[in-house]
A and B are shown apart, each in its own frame.
Chain A
Amino acid sequence: MDDFLLYALIGGLGVAAIAGPLGSFVVWRRMAYFGDTLAHSALLGVALGFLLQINLNLAVVASCVLLALLLVTLQRQRFVATDTLLGIMAHSTLSLGLVAIALLDNVRVDLLSYLFGDLLAISSRDLYWIFAGGALVLLLLWRLWDGLLAITINEELAQVEGVPVARLRLTLMLLIAVVIAAAMKIVGILLITSLLIIPAAAARKLSRTPEQMALLAALLGCLAVAGGLAASWYWDTPAGPSVVVTALAEFLLLYSLPLRRLGPNAG
């Protein structure tokens, strides 16, 4: 196997493994539109990265995190509903990014690779980013798991029970921001949310507990990455969209088969 394909596979699997559990939260907490908004703002991050000549991954993480913080602040006002706010931010950050990139006359940016991913151009340095970021995300998820589930069940109940609700909610947003930055290379800005929600939605069919759903989502995401890459290799299709199409196929298959939920969970 060629190096670039191996890198693509390892990177893709790494991202899919983190996207499983986090994507489950996106599904449970109905944050799909939020994920989309963060993803769109990633392009602004790319533009800023070029402008300030800093590491692009860092710039993307930073812009996603800033947007998440801005959103939390703006949600406190009551004049514009959250979904309107998300719509405004998603499209204006994307447009700002496109405009900023057009104005940068000293760099040529391959827009398509950012919008739809460039899985086959993953370098060893990207892998380092994906795995360092992924390890951090998984560690935090593992430590905060029960609290995150509690706030997903009911935030007020969790607050009365002494769970630090606001802090956990913010942490979850930041974790999603990190994953989006990591996943940008794999499926591109416009398709990132699908990597978060399609495997998780498919996993719901078989799950009886949140843990089963998170693990299955990770597994299905990894399968989608492997399948999409294989399709891309044999039929020369674009890698990112092929991954998403494979995930969709898994989703449709699981929901059309008369499958039973997994048995009572042991752990």
Chain B
Amino acid sequence: MNTHRHEPLARLTHVDVRFGRNHVIQNISLELHRGCITTLIGPNGAGKTTLVRVVLGLIQPSRGDVWREPGLRIGYMPQKLHIDQTFPLTVERFLRTARNDDPAALEQALADVGASRLLSQSIHGLSGGEMQRVLLARALLQEPNLLVLDEPVQGVDINGQIELYKLIGRIRDQRGCGVLMISHDLHLVMSSTDHVICMNRHVCCSGHPEQVSNDPSFIEMFGIPGAENLALYSHHHNHKHNAHGDVIKHARDNVKAR
């Protein structure tokens, strides 16, 4: 699907985060690559957002190393952005507070996410899906090497979700940036991701989506119906039966951790 380069954009090695005595994440290692969409899945409280915040540099790990490519530009789309009603703000003005306030880049970013018509609207009147697109446009304005998306489809209806995931895939294709995203929607995200990390404080399993969906720990966490659903889904898309992980199309993501 895309060329694999060995130089990662960011690398976490044996990272622990503790809040007090509470281990939020434990011994997590991962690499993020150019042109590769990595998806974090896991139940509530699994530490997904914490892990993302470590990648972003918003929290320091209690143990382990975080390495980022020098000069790495991150475009970050937070899970939710609450802007106080007391703060009058149009979409244009919101985007112009990003570091890159070149008007042409701004219009391009909005066009890329299919939200050009929102330019002069008040940010307070946007729907969930529109707001997500505007946030994505803002992330693109950073001209990112790495896009970090925390539940990018939250509050968006199902059709909008599929579209947003397609859009994220397109952005990756066009810009060749790496993508790290959190999702809890299993089958929608499976079709648009290269590498899945299934976590519950620690990494339960990781690898190519089809591989992960057949992993016992994944099935244990999300149940067999979920896993079957996924298998069916990938079957539908690849016309290939991978029920036992015998046939693996993308060998490069053959990483398993347990």
Contacts and interface: CB of A to CB of B under 8 A. Distances in A.
Interface of A: 27-28, 30, 146, 149-150, 152-154, 156-157, 159-163, 201, 204, 207-213, 261, 264-265
B94 A160 contact: no
A265 B97 contact: no
Contact of A156 (B78, B87, B98): B78
B101 A146 contact: yes
* Dominant SS among interface residues on chain A: helix
B18 to A, nearest CB: 16
A157 B136 CA distance: 12
A210 B142 contact: no
Given A160-B74, A160-B76, A153 B86 contact: no
B87 A152 contact: yes
Interface string B58-85: 1000000000000000101010010110
18 contacts: A28-B87, A146-B97, A153-B87, A154-B81, A156-B58, A156-B76, A156-B78, A157-B81, A159-B58, A160-B56, A160-B76, A162-B99, A207-B88, A210-B93, A211-B93, A212-B88, A213-B88, A265-B93
Given A146-B101, A157-B81, A27 B88 contact: no
B84 A28 contact: yes
A160 B58 contact: yes
Contacts of A207: 88
Interface in B95-122: 96-99, 101, 120, 122
B89 interface: yes
Please provide the 5 A-B residue pairs with the shortest distance between their CB atoms, ordered closest to farther: A160-B76, A207-B88, A150-B97, A264-B120, A28-B87
Given A154-B81, A161-B142, A209 B88 contact: yes
B45 interface: no
A146 B98 CA distance: 8
B86 A28 contact: yes
A208 B124 CA distance: 10
A162 B100 CA distance: 11
Nearest to B135: A157
Contact of B93 (A161, A209, A261): A209
Nearest to B77: A157
Given A160-B57, A208-B122, A209-B93, 5 more contacts: A27-B86, A28-B87, A146-B96, A204-B86, A264-B120
Contacts of B58: 156, 159-160
B88 A157 contact: no
A218 to B, nearest CB: 15
Contacts of B88: 204, 207-210, 212-213, 261
Interface in B144-183: 148
Contacts of A154: 78, 81, 83
A69 B243 CA distance: 62
B90 interface: yes
Contacts of B81: 153-154, 157
Contacts of B96: 146
A200 B142 CA distance: 31
A122 B256 CA distance: 75
A163 to B, nearest CB: 8
A154 to B, nearest CB: 6
Contacts of A161: 76, 98-99, 142
Contacts of A204: 86, 88
